[in-house]
Structure formats: C-alpha cells, structure tokens
A and B are shown apart, each in its own frame.
Chain A
C-alpha cells in the first residue's frame, strides 16, 4: 500500500465512521438557515428556504387528521409542519433534554408540567402572552389554571377533559331502577351498585354495579367531592391525611370490601381492552362507570357499541353536601414550548395559531374533546350531542377544578395510586398508609420548592 493509498483508506474509514455516527444522531433535525450545508439545500426535496416546525403529540388515534390540520398552518405561513403522533413518553424525555427538541410538545395532561418547569425543560410563556396573540380571557378558567406553576404559565390548554357518570339504562330497568334517574348522591350510588350486582350460584360475580377504579381512575374526583384535594391550594403542603382524602378512599373501599375482593378482581380482570367491544361497560358487565367526554364520540361508544342504551350525568355529591353538585376535575391536553427550541418566536406563532378559537373548535370537534376556548365552545357542532353537552356544562361550572401542579406530581401520583390499590384490593385502613406517605413526600416537596 503506497502512502497516498494508505491515507485515502484512513480518510474513507473515518468518513464511514462519521457517517454511521451521524445516522445515530436524533432524527430529522430542523434545518435552520445557518446550519444547512449547501449539499443539504440542493438535496432537500422541499424548497431550501422553507423552515420546518416539529410538533410532538403524546396521544393521537388519528395522526393523519392532526397532520392535515397543521398543514393548513404550513400552507398559510410557508413553513413545513411535521406532526409526530403518538410519541412515547421515553422519547419525550430524550427530546426535551437533547439539543433538537420539538418546537411544540403536546401532552395528554399537565402531570409533568411542574417537574419539567422546575428542571428548566420547558419555556415559561408569560413574555409571549404579553404580546396578546392569545386571549387568556377566552380560555376556561379550570383548564387554564392547570398550566400555572409557581405564578407562571408553562403551558396552554388545547383540548380539555372532564369526567361524569355513565349508566347502562338496560341494566337499570332489569334491576327495577328508573332508567332515566341516575343516583343523586354518592350514598345512593353505592346503594344502586348493590342492586345492580349479580352473583351466580357458585359465588361468581356475573355483573357488577360500580367499580371505583375501573377505566380511568378517579381518586381526584372523589376527593374533590369529599371537599378538598391532596395539596394545599398554593401547592406547598401535602394533605394526604386530610378528611377528604381519607373519606374518598373509604368510600371507594366499600365497592371491594363489602363484596369479595378476590371475586371482584377476578371478574374485572376478565374484561377486554379499554378500546374494544369487550370493555366492561360496553359489554354490559359494569352498570355504572366514571369516564370522560370522549366516550359518547365516534371513536368510542359510537364505534364499539353503537346500540348501547346509556345515560350521562354529573357525578353525584355526598348526601350531606348538595352544594358540591357539579364538582369535577378538569384536566387535559396541554401544549408547551421546550426550552431547547432555537426559534421560539416561530414556535410561539404556531402555538398562538393552535390556540385560536377556530382551530381549537376544529380539532376538538374531530376528536370529541372539550374545547379550552369559550368562543370555540359556542360552535354549534359541540351542542349536537346532548351527552357531550353534559361535559361542556361541567367544565364551565364554578365547581370545576383543575389539579394543582407541584414539582413532584409524578411521585405523588405513584404513591397515591399504590395506596389506593392497597386500600381497595387488600381492604387496608387508609390512614396509616397516608400518614407514612405524607411523612415521606412532604420533605421531598419542601426540598423541590426550595431550589
């Protein structure tokens, strides 16, 4: 091998290695004007001058619909908007911490907003909001408040979710209950549940009235109905041992522990998937459930069990507190701008467009989610389905609340989930478990808030 050849070989090898490494780098970085090499500019199929904005959405049953929605913005503004949906949570973390995050990140709920805000992974939006492109007065208060973390807005609510009681009218009739009258109090709900539960001669449950942690788990709703939440309003204290939390868990417990826990678990684990005709509620195995506004929509009951004869009503308050009627916990899709985004002005412009009432209306009509914008909510298409309207009213009710954000939401949610599981599935006394968890989590919260 001559010297020249030798070096040619070295160069080729190094080039190969670099090419390989480059192919391992995060996918499809947005070519900004400064960075794009001449080679890239000529090679790219799209005109070289057209910038790319990337939108990641962690949910999405219909990626094509989302892409076509954002294409409208692209066409009007001469940019290319790439929508990636659904994106895994693991990828979101990698994207947020890497150097090429998406320009807009949309998540299914605000759970991580506090943590990410604290870690500086997402941008506070207050400076942008001062520009007035987004009218905060047009956004319903409850969903908006879920984006406030320590006095700043870290996200904006796009679509919103809230929860109500669904009941199967056929099963009500069979059990001798008035199919048009849902339970009016939490106590009555438990009483109805007993009438709606069937056990065969072998002791096997064949139908069940109500399972508090079936489908979406709604501890938050039950706690709110009991008159509180597991954080103080300013998010600095954990109130696990407060009466609302204890009472909510005890109320939930009866649906397992007054029956036979083992039998209830056996019965529920035989249900099919959430999005399938064998969903316990669709299949008529569960007479009442708590679920979200998307259920009456085209992707859920209309699709899997269109003939289901059912009703929707606000979840009832406890007998002693009729004033808590229409209490509901609003939470849902939020959009944010990662802090690593280079052209934040462009990202904000896109976000402001997303938040415009027309776009909110269009997206939420397509997906049967609640609009966050008051103007959008006036769209007649939201008022065609009377079941959907129940949720619309709940969301704008003065008793609508949003979860409070803290930097340790994830830990708190896990801990509460585990306590709920233990209380319901082993009939444990909630108080000692809550005391222990509070002692563990309060110092964690203090530390996180002091940083």
Chain B
C-alpha cells in the first residue's frame, strides 16, 4: 500500500481539500481519527435516534411491528389529550416558579459563601455536598423528611405551632415539595455563581465604595449586572433541565403509596411532561405518540431558549461587550 492511496481516498472524500498541502491533509485525517469515537457515537446514539424519532412521530409504532405512516394524527391527538395539557402545565409550574426560585437561592448562597470568614471552604463544601448525592437517593431521603406525621420538616413546623401540610399526598403541595427538594441540591449553580462573583472587578467595587454606595447599592448597581451573563447561563440550563424533569417525580410517585399508585400521583399533580412521555412510550408502547411528544418538547425548549437569549440583550452586561 502506498501513500498515494491514502491521499486519493482523502481527495475523493473531501474534494475541496485538493488545494491542501500534504501536511494539512494528514493532520486533518489524524484529527478526524482522534475524534472518530465521538463522531461515531454522535451518529449512532444522537443523530440517528433523533432523525428516527422524527420519522416515528408521524407513524403508529409499537416497537415490533413496522411503523405505519399516519401523518399528523399523533400531533392532532396530542393537542386533544387533556393529560398532555396537564403535564405541560405541571412542567410550566416547575419552570416558572422552581427555576427563578432556585436561581435566587443559589445567588444568595453564593453571596454568603463569598464572604471571607473563617471556615469559608467548609461552608462551601457543605452547600455543594447534596449535589453529589444521586437523585434517587436524595428523593427517597426527602420523602422521609416530608412525611406529614413523622417527617423532620413538619416536626420543625410543629415546634413553631404550624401544622405542616400533607406534602406528598396533597396535590396542592406535591409540586412545592419537589421544588423544595430541588432547592436542596443547587450546589452546582452556587459554584457557577461563586466563580462569577469572584470575577467582579475589585476596582469597580472600590470605586463604588468611594462614591459612597452602601452594600445594597453596590449589590444592585455592580454585582448583579456583573454576574448577569452567569444568571443567563444558569437560567437557560435550569429551564432546559426543568422541562425534562423526570427522576424525582418518578421516585416520588412510586414512594407515595406502599406499592405505588402509579405515575403522576397524587391525582396527576406530578405528571410532568417527561413522565407522561415515558408512560406513553414504555408503559403503553406507543412509541410514535411518545416521539411526537418528544419533538413538541424539543420545539418548546428551543423557543424558550431563543426567547431568553433574545431578551437577555436587554438585561445582561458584558464587560467590553
């Protein structure tokens, strides 16, 4: 085998590369080979499933039999399906209430953890620790904390004379309970905020201080605008993750009754979008319907992300930008 064969193949595969030097071409091929694992993985496990699911979303498909083309029927049925809307509104609740709340809490925690006091690093570790706990384990732990009678939370509430709600069995409280659980695990967001806070230029702070700005004014006029790109990042990541909210709700509904009263318990209040999608796909084997659900979710997430990015021009500040 000669060198020319390799070149010929390269030239045939990438005609525009004809003008490349031998060296460039070889580097190109070597580079491709180095990332070939990723490329194959991407095609096999990301691109192909995505394209396939787009196709399935226009079919009736139950795994074994060949998919049957039915056009837009899955989409039409979805818009008529009350549980589709229910799951969407449950998910929207988490996005609209849960995400901003978690940003607020992580920002406040990051501010506190940024204060130079003794034991600072220990506090940082403590706040980050819950993020390491696997989701299923932390959810089970919270089921115990949220137990209406013997749970830690209601016992503490009882100490101050409040009769705590029936967190996991009352449809009005199940989503707040899940938000609470989420707030416990915001360690990652705190770390990102913390790094942003440390990037706030000391010179700006000092200048503001010399101008007589108090702590609040410095926070409003300097810190918050300076970390606004971080807020945007956390917001988008949070929104995307929350739209795909699954594991906690799955574990919660399995744990609510001793043998599990089904997904979405109590009373479909935790039937989130991904949970409903899972039910259609893997319980009822309606893969076409589930694929259509997945694509609608994809479009919703894309629109939300674009809107957030566009609106961000008005409220984010980039130094030198």
Contact = CB atoms under 8 A, between A and B. Distances in A.
Given A13-B33, A93-B285, A120-B65, A425 B44 contact: no
A4 B65 CA distance: 47
B149 interface: yes
A89 B285 CA distance: 12
30 contacts: A3-B6, A7-B6, A9-B33, A17-B36, A21-B40, A21-B44, A93-B285, A96-B63, A97-B64, A115-B285, A119-B62, A119-B285, A120-B64, A121-B63, A213-B261, A215-B258, A216-B259, A217-B259, A265-B166, A265-B169, A266-B149, A266-B166, A270-B147, A270-B148, A270-B150, A279-B258, A418-B262, A421-B266, A425-B266, A426-B267
A214 interface: yes
B282 A90 contact: yes
B26 interface: yes
B168 A269 contact: yes
A90 B168 CA distance: 25
A13 B32 CA distance: 11
A425 B259 contact: no
Interface in B38-82: 40, 44, 62-65
Q: Would you call the interface of chain A mostly helix, strand, loop, or mixed?
A: helix
Interface string B222-248: 000000000000000000000000000
Contacts of B147: 269-270
Given A17-B36, A279-B258, A93 B150 contact: no
B63 A97 contact: yes
Nearest to A202: B163
Given A97-B64, A121-B64, A266-B148, A421 B261 contact: yes
A437 to B, nearest CB: 12
Contacts of B214: none
B3 interface: yes
B37 interface: yes
Given A120-B65, A269-B256, A93 B282 contact: yes
Nearest to B26: A1
Interface string A407-437: 0101100100110011001100000000000
The 8 closest A-B pairs by CB, nearest first: A270-B149, A97-B63, A274-B258, A3-B3, A265-B169, A266-B148, A269-B169, A119-B62
Interface in B257-295: 257-259, 261-268, 279, 282-285
B170 interface: yes
Interface string A261-290: 010011111110110000110000000000
Interface in B133-173: 147-150, 166, 168-170
Interface of A: 1-4, 6-7, 9-10, 13, 16-17, 20-21, 89-90, 93, 96-97, 115, 119-121, 213-217, 262, 265-271, 273-274, 279-280, 339, 408, 410-411, 414, 417-418, 421-422, 425-426
Nearest to B68: A451
B62 to A, nearest CB: 5
Contacts of A414: 262-263, 279, 283
Contacts of B37: 16-17, 20
B9 to A, nearest CB: 10
A9 B259 CA distance: 55
A417 B33 CA distance: 54
Q: Would you call the interface of chain B mostly helix, strand, loop, or mixed?
A: loop
A221 to B, nearest CB: 15
Contact of B3 (A6, A120, A410): A6
A362 B25 CA distance: 69
Interface in B1-54: 1-3, 5-6, 26, 33, 36-37, 40, 44
Given A1-B26, A3-B1, A418-B264, 18 more contacts: A4-B1, A9-B33, A93-B63, A93-B285, A96-B64, A115-B285, A119-B64, A120-B64, A121-B63, A121-B64, A213-B257, A217-B259, A217-B261, A266-B148, A271-B258, A274-B258, A408-B284, A411-B284
A266 B173 CA distance: 13
B258 A214 contact: yes
B107 to A, nearest CB: 34
Contact of A267 (B1, B149, B259, B264): B149
Contacts of A16: 37
Contacts of B44: 21
Contacts of A90: 282
